[in-house]
């Protein structure tokens, strides 16, 4: 065998070695999963997603103070992205209403299957894919649970727990600034289904009673951003035709919502 062929064979063997190791590890892991029983399944899950040891750049808050350690970064990010903690965590329960009477099986199914299967799971680790499979086998029990929650107005505590995660925004120039990050809240998927159903019922009731402002276009049926833009352009044209100067004030209420105290928000709504 010539030297060139030996070098080619050595290079090919070197390239195949990592692949063969990966296939052997994958085969061993799958064989191990097949023999697991009971609690051993959950113990094995801790090894499924190893945590990376990636480092995060230093952060600079609004006052120009630098945060380098993990603790300093946590103290910097917490007040910026997470809701303020309130001393009183429990509120008086309102008497049961008649909202559950307009609750239908179609509304529950629509709320469940409208969610994307790939959405992140909450602390209970149940995905929407798992809930869809459960719907096919235990549809009656799920409907009874949803109707009980809507009828009594009592949201299960385990569905309220969320994992707050701060992630970087894509395409930012400077990741040392706080504005280069955003927070996401990972709620339990069943809790999201309940919230979707309740939001739909509340929206229908608000429309029926005429409680919403005519100027609200978000989260309303048969209204879109195009309608808002058309109205804004029309008013600007009218103002300009009358010799006036038109201006637009844009406010990001969604970004400010996370930092609003719950008690203050409830007081303003009442």
Q: Kindly list the domain boundaries of the chain, sorted by start residue.
A: 3-45, 59-211, 220-270
Q: So what's the pLDDT on residue 52?
A: 45
When pLDDT is averaged across residues 76-97 and rounded to a whole number, the result is: 60
* Residues 23-53 pLDDT 10s: 888 888 778 777 766 556 666 666 665 544 4
Q: Is 235 left (phi over 0), alpha (psi -120 to 50) or beta?
A: alpha
* Residues 127-171 pLDDT 10s: 888 888 889 888 999 888 888 888 777 777 888 787 777 888 888
Q: Which residues pair with 177 in a beta bridge?
A: 60
Mean model confidence pLDDT for the chain: 78
> pLDDT category, 256, cuts 50, 70, 90?
low
> What is the distance between the alpha carbons of residues 165 and 151, in angstroms, rounded to a whole number?
32
Q: Give Rg (Cα) of the chain.
A: 27
Residue 60's φ and ψ, nearest 5 degrees, are: -125, 120
Which residue shows structure tokens 């952060």?
Answer: 59
The pTM (predicted TM-score) of the whole model is: 0.56
What is residue 69's DSSP assignment? S
- By three-state DSSP, how is residue 219 classified? coil
Q: For the chain, first and last CA: distance in Å?
A: 88
Q: So what's the pLDDT on residue 242?
A: 93
């Amino acid at each position: 065998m010539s030297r060139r062929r030996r070098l080619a064979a050595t290079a090919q063997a070197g390239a195949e070695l990592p692949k063969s190791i990966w296939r052997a590890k994958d085969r061993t892991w799958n064989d191990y999963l097949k023999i697991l029983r009971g609690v051993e399944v959950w113990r094995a899950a801790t090894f499924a997603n190893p945590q990376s040891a990636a480092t995060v750049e230093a952060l600079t808050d609004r006052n120009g103070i630098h945060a380098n350690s993990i603790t300093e970064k946590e103290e910097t990010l917490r007040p910026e992205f997470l809701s303020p903690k309130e001393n009183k965590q429990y509120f008086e329960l309102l008497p049961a209403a008649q909202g559950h009477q307009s609750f239908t099986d179609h509304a529950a199914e629509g709320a469940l299957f409208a969610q994307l299967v790939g959405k992140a799971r909450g602390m209970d680790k149940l995905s929407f894919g798992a809930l869809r499979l459960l719907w096919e086998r235990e549809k009656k029990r799920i409907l009874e649970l949803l109707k009980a929650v809507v009828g009594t107005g009592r949201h299960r505590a385990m569905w309220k727990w969320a994992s707050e995660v701060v992630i970087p925004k894509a395409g930012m120039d400077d990741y040392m600034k706080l504005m280069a990050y955003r927070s996401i809240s990972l709620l339990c998927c069943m809790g999201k289904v309940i919230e979707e159903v309740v939001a739909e019922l509340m929206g229908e009731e608000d429309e029926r009673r005429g409680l919403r402002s005519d100027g609200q276009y978000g989260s309303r049926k048969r209204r879109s951003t195009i309608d808002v833009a058309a109205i804004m352009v029309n008013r600007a044209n009218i103002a300009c035709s009358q010799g006036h100067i038109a201006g637009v004030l844009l406010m990001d209420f969604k970004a400010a919502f996370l930092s609003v105290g719950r008690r203050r928000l409830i007081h303003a709504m009442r």
